[in-house]
Amino acid sequence: MKRQFIKDIKTGTQVDDVFYCSRRDVRERRDGGAFLTLELRDKTGFANAIMWDRIEDALKCVEVGGFYRVTGRMGDYQGKAQLNVNLIYPADKAEISRDDFIAASRYDRAELMTELRGFIAAVKNPHLRGLLDAFFGDAGFAEKFSLAPGGARVHHAYLGGLLEHTTLMARLARSFPEVYKEIDGDLLMTGLILHDVGKVREYVYDVAIDHSYDGRLLGHITMGYEMVQDKLAGMKDFPVELGRMLLHIILAHHGQMEFGSPKTPKFAEAFIVYFLDNLDARAAMFRETVEKNPNAKWTDFQQYLETNVYIPDKPA
């Protein structure tokens, strides 16, 4: 079991523990030699690390996706924590425990799944309901859906993150057809529940959360499209237009092409899924940012939120 977690390591602390390597870059020094920069992680966060000297052995053994025992000292570079590495070598299998490297949703996964199944049961259109049942009636798929993270780093990067993200979006979506009578509530709910289904395959999360091989090459929008398309191909009576609209919701859910969607939303249900996806992701980013900065009034600039986050005083 680990003793030193990234979130708690203070500047000046001597470090000797196991970390997951999520980035590895060899850079050139001014004198022509090489140095190594790394990103290390555990379930509490990321640390930038740097190794200046005697990097030859490290170069031979350190790869992205591996677990390493690292010794060094936590330093500071331009006001940011940076681990100065003396020694890094592959960790023993016995030293690697999933609980040290993957955090879990604060919600009970079984309860969330029951709630999500309630939303599925409320879908009246028999074709859409049949499609959802084709996914969630498969116990192996349901297990993967309830375990998968919702992201690798920016938000919901923990076990159960996908299920939490999807279920909270479904709670928010419930009221839309009541307020806007023209909305097809069944299409909205089905598209919403399946919008990130590709994340079941986009990530690996057996010992640490990272992108899978296919996830890196294809991404969850394409993979989700494929998964739904495969199911639709086996449902001969499924209305063609409804199927196209559902696939469009998946393709358009990132809203803009620069965020990975090949199409922008072309009808209201697709726009609402994009909107709720963005809303829930940002709400989670604010929450996670506050949790990671317990002693600050203002955080560093948060790239994805495009601002420094203000942290209110806790009530006494």
Contacts with Fe ion by CB under 5 A lie at 196, 277
Radius of gyration of the chain (CA): 22
Nearer to Fe ion, 85 or 169 (CB): 169
CB of 278 to Fe ion, least distance (A): 8
Smaller CB distance to Fe ion: residue 24 or 201?
A: 201
**In the complex, what is the shortest distance from the CB of residue 277 to Fe ion, in angstroms, rounded to a whole number?**
4
Nearer CB in complex with Fe ion: 42/202: 202
**109 vs 156, which CB is nearer to Fe ion?**
156
Nearer to Fe ion, 19 or 205 (CB): 205
CB of 168 to Fe ion, least distance (A): 10
CB of 161 to Fe ion, least distance (A): 10
> What's the token pair of residue 35?
């140095």
* Nearer Cβ to Fe ion (164/196): 196
Q: Taking the complex as a whole, how short is the minimal distance between the CB of residue 220 and Fe ion, in angstroms?
A: 6
Nearer to Fe ion, 52 or 304 (CB): 304
In DSSP notation, the chain reads --S--GGGPPTT-EEEEEEEEEEEEEEE-TTS-EEEEEEEEETTEEEEEEE-S--HHHHHH--TT-EEEEEEEEEEETTEEEEEEEEEEEPPGGG--HHHH--B-SS-HHHHHHHHHHHHHT---HHHHHHHHHHHTSHHHHHHHHH--S-SSSS--SBTHHHHHHHHHHHHHTTHHHHSTTS-HHHHHHHHHHTTTTHHHHEE-SSS-EE-HHHHHHHHHHHHHHHHHHHHHT-TTS-HHHHHHHHHHHHHTT-SGGGT-SS---SHHHHHHHHHHHHHHHHHHHHHHHHH-TT-SEEEEETTTTEEEE-PPPP-
Give the nearest distance from C-beta 246 to Fe ion in angstroms: 15
Nearest approach, Cβ of residue 157 and Fe ion (Å): 13
Phi, psi for 181 (deg, rounded to 5):
-65, -25
